[in-house]
Every structure is written in structure tokens, then in C-alpha cells.
Structure 1
Amino acid sequence: MENKLTILTTTYNRPDKLERLFNSLEKQSNKKFCWWIVNDGSTRSYKEIENVITQKNCEFEVHFFKKSNGGKHRALNFIIPKVTTEYTMIIDDDDYLVADAVETVLWYSDNYLTEDNNLKSIIFERAKNDEITPMSPLPQNIDFGQRFQYIVQNRINGDFTDVFLTKALKEFRLPEFAGENFISEGPLYFFFSQKYESVFIKKIVSVGDYNA
């Protein structure tokens, strides 16, 4: 079975958070994805959770990567160029996916993210503490626009789950500055919005609250 989606998760000193996400991936109704975990130079051991994952007979591929600590933005810059699947989704280590998330992502991606148009990413809602209430409700069931401008114009605050056409995502990098280990994905969304448009889908695919 050919994988169409890579789920990227960067993690630092939070091995205990990964099991819930892993369990949600095991429950996916569609297994045409791979999960890539990037350990950003953690000082805590990940051996226990890695053993839990590798000893399971998963129906999807799991790959572990490790790099020196530099922050999530550097971890993404490190891993995104290596992705070979058609689509890419970034999920934090303390989030999890609803059971039909991959099925939903692939259906919309196959129908909207093509070489023939300027739509290169899909924005889904994310729930905060349950699988019902969106953290930041989108105003329409389905809509189109440039991600950064759309969020500003509609005065929307909060996080979403973004899915990218990998070929388009690889055109961009998050900025890196000496001594700075935290840069949000905001610059990526801004630069992406200058060139490509996105589809906004009023459907929750991930759940996760803010954590330190």
C-alpha cells in the first residue's frame, strides 16, 4: 500500500506525550500514511516509548530521527526536505487525531490539492479539550483564500491543522537565527500565503490544548 501522507511530529523532552498520539494513529480508519518522529536533541530518554511503538505490529510506517537541539523550526527545516509522500501534515507531540482524520485529510487533499490549480494547502479545525468544540471555529463550511490574510480578515485567533502539498511546502523554510530556539510556524504560513491559496474546511481532525 503506497503511502500518500506523512505526519510529522517534532518532540523535545516529552516522551510521555507520544503514546496518546500513537494510540490515535493506530485507530485511524485509513492507514495510507507514515509517521515521522523527530527527536530535537532531548536530554530525556525516548527508549521506552520507542520500544512500545516498534514492538507493535503497526499497519503504518514509523520512522525515528534525531538531531541536535535547535527548536521546532530547525527540526522542521531538517525533516521536510526528506518527505517523499504527496501530502504532509504537522502534528505536535501533545496532540492527537480523531479516528477519521487521515481518511478526511486524504479525501479533501485528493480533491483539492492538484498541480492544476493554486490550492496547495488545507486548513482544518482543531479542538481544544474534546472532539466536538473547535478551538477557532471557521466561518464557512468550506472556503478558499490565502491562509495568512484569511485569518487576519476574519479576525480568527487560535490554532488549526494544516495539510500541505509536499512539493509546494518544500519551497519554503522557517527562518533561523543564532541563539534563537523558538520560532512559531507563523512565518511559514505568511510566506506560503504570498504564493499559494488554501482550502478552509470546517471539520475537526485534531485535538490538543496549549502546553508548556
Structure 2
Amino acid sequence: MQITVFTPTYNRGYIIENLYKSLQKQTFRDFEWLVIDDGSIDNTEELFKEWKNEKNFFKIRYYKVENGGKHRAINKAIDLANGDVFFIVDSDDYLIPTALEKVASWFRTIENQVGFCGVSGNRGRTEIDVIGTTFKGDYIDATSLERNQFHITGDKAEVFYTHVLKKYKFPEYEGERFISEATVWEKMAYEGYKIRWFNETIYICNYLEDGLTQNMIQTFAKSPRGTALYMKQQIKFHNCGLKGKMAYYNLYYSFVKSQLNLKEAAAHMETSLFTMIASVILAETKKRLTGWRFYAN
């Protein structure tokens, strides 16, 4: 089995060396490092010119493209990947030395089994400080939509079969540079694909101030069509009733109101203007009543 370690990067020349050094320490050696530079204007390109000339046991494949967002970089990388499996490792993070060895080992446990799209370990701030929550035991088989019921919360280190990802490309909307990765991971889950979640931390994660996680509200707002798709999928995949739908309509508008008016937001969410207005009014009313009860008590 060959692994493609894929890294999308943008102006991370000041920190990406941590990931590079962690790849040099991997105990598993049959992998490539595929990097899509999303239009960096720092020293990233110079670093990779230098590193490609160093004597590494793994191949470095570096491509620089016009800035288009992480989801476009993933789509391009899926087409370019030589690996049987595809592991997205962000440029501000790094792997423990046995990470790829553990990934390969867990893939062997699902070899020839039907219905799996990949495996996943934990992310952590350290090897013992897990991001989110995890379960008791060695592993659990579940779809991404079943995570909460098994206490699998927070960002995890998913690794997918490349041939499966080729069937699930990210939608690309002109002028928008973001769409949640959950849009694709949960679509695979909705269509029946399971992941073998193993209870080991393999990925060390840093949430930097210039990262997507720390700027999520602004990021959602600037990509209203991609955000609408994600919200509509949440309604469909979780079989929301009227109350749940209204909550998502209001949540959507709270994200995009700096970019869209209520009529435009309703159109993106494929609902009526009346319903969108009602969802906002209901949310405001609930907020006021909650505040009044708190004050009254």
C-alpha cells in the first residue's frame, strides 16, 4: 500500500518545516508528499525547491496554483495522487513518527471488506491531549454521521481510499474559496460508507490565528453558496423536522447577513422568503424570552 500525504498550504513558510521534519521521521516509508501551494506569496516555493534536492526516502511533489481555497486544492490533489489512500495533513500540523505505520496497519484490518471508505485516528494537541472526545476500546466502525452517538467529536485524522474520493469531489462555486470538508465526508456517510475509527493519536494539531478554524464565521459568510449546500445537507442527512429546519435557516442567515439580504438567503437555502423571515423572528423572540426569564429569576 502506498500513502499520499497531501498538504494544502498558503503562506505557511514559517511553520511547514515542522511537518516536513515529521515526515522524515516516519517509520513507514512507502508514501509520497503531495503539496498544493494555493498561491503563497511568502518563501514557501523556495523552501520546496530546497527540500526536493535533499536526499529523502519519500518523493516530494509540489505544485503552485492560483489561490482558490482548500477544497479546490483537494480536488486537484485527488486527481494527482499516486497513493492507494489519501491523508490530508494541514501545513501547520505534523505527524508522530509511527503515524503512517499505524494508518497502514489499520487499513490492513479492513482489506477486502465492503462498505468502508477509510480509517481514522485521533488528533491531539499532544499525544495524550486528544482534540474533542473519543470512545473506550481499540476501534469502532461507524459512519461520519454516527460520530456523536459513539462520542467521536472534534477534528479527527481521517484517511480515505483514493478511489472512493474520486467519486466525491467538492463542489466549486465561482468566486467562493471555501466549503466545509464535512460536506463531502457526510455525503459519503449518508450513502453508506463507514470509517474504522481507531483510538490512537497520530496527528498533532495547532489552530493558528490565521487558520480556517479560528476564522470560521467570516469564512462561511464569504462563501454563501457553499455554506448553503452544507446547511441543506445537514437538514437532509439528519432528517430535520420543521423546528430543525427553522434553526438551520436562522443559523445560515446569521452567517451570511453581511453578504446577502433575506431574499437572497432564502433563495440559496431553497425556501420561501416568508419562512426565512419567520426563522429569524422566532430566533430573536426565543433569545429575548430566555433573557427575560433569566432576569426574572
CA contact (8 A) 1:175 1:187 kept: no
- Once structures 1 and 2 are overlaid, which stretch shifts more, 17-26 or 119-128? 119-128
Matching of residues 104-143 of structure 1 within 5 Å: 104-112=102-110, 114-128=111-125, 130-140=126-136, 141-143=138-140
Match of 2:169 among 166, 173, 189: 173
- 1:72 and 1:87 map into 2 onto residues whose CA distance is 19
State, as a whole percentage, how many aligned pairs show the same letter.
Answer: 29
CA contact (8 A) 1:125 1:136 kept: no
Provide TM-score, normalisation by structure 1: 0.91
The 5-angstrom pairing of residues 140-155 of structure 1 reads: 140=136, 141-147=138-144, 149-154=145-150
Range with bigger deviation, 18-27 or 53-62:
53-62
The equivalent residue for 1:55 is: 53
1:27-106 counterparts in 2 under 5 A? 27-106=25-104
Letter in 2 for 1:207: I
Shift of 1:51: 3.5
Cα distance in 1 for residues equivalent to 2:46 and 2:100: 26
Partner of 2:28, secondary structure, is coil
TM-score when normalising by structure 2:
0.66
Spell out, residue by residue over 1:118-159, the C-alpha distance to the aligned partner (whole angstroms, 9 max, x if none). 11211210012x222111232132101111x22233454421
Superposed displacement of residue 24, structure 1: 0.2
Structure with a larger share of its residues in helix: 2
Contact 1:125 1:137 in 2 (8 A): no
Higher strand share: 1
Distance in 1, matches of 2:153 and 2:105, equals 26
Q: Which has the higher contact order (CA 8 A, sep 6+)?
A: 1
Do 2:134 and 2:151's aligned partners in 1 also have CA atoms closer than 8 Å? no
Instruction: Describe the shift of the 1:47–1:67 C-alpha distance in structure 2 as closer, same or farther (beyond 3 A).
Output: closer
Q: Which consecutive unaligned segments of at least 5 residues does structure 1 have?
A: none
Aligned length: 207
Specify the code of the residue in structure 2 equivalent to 1:93.
S
Distance 2:146 2:50 in 1: 41
Aligned to 2:9: 11
Query: Within 2, Cα distance between the matches of 1:198 and 1:165?
Result: 10
The structure number with the bigger radius of gyration is: 2
Q: Which moved more, 1:20-29 or 1:43-52?
A: 43-52
Q: How much has 1:30 moved relative to structure 2? A: 1.2
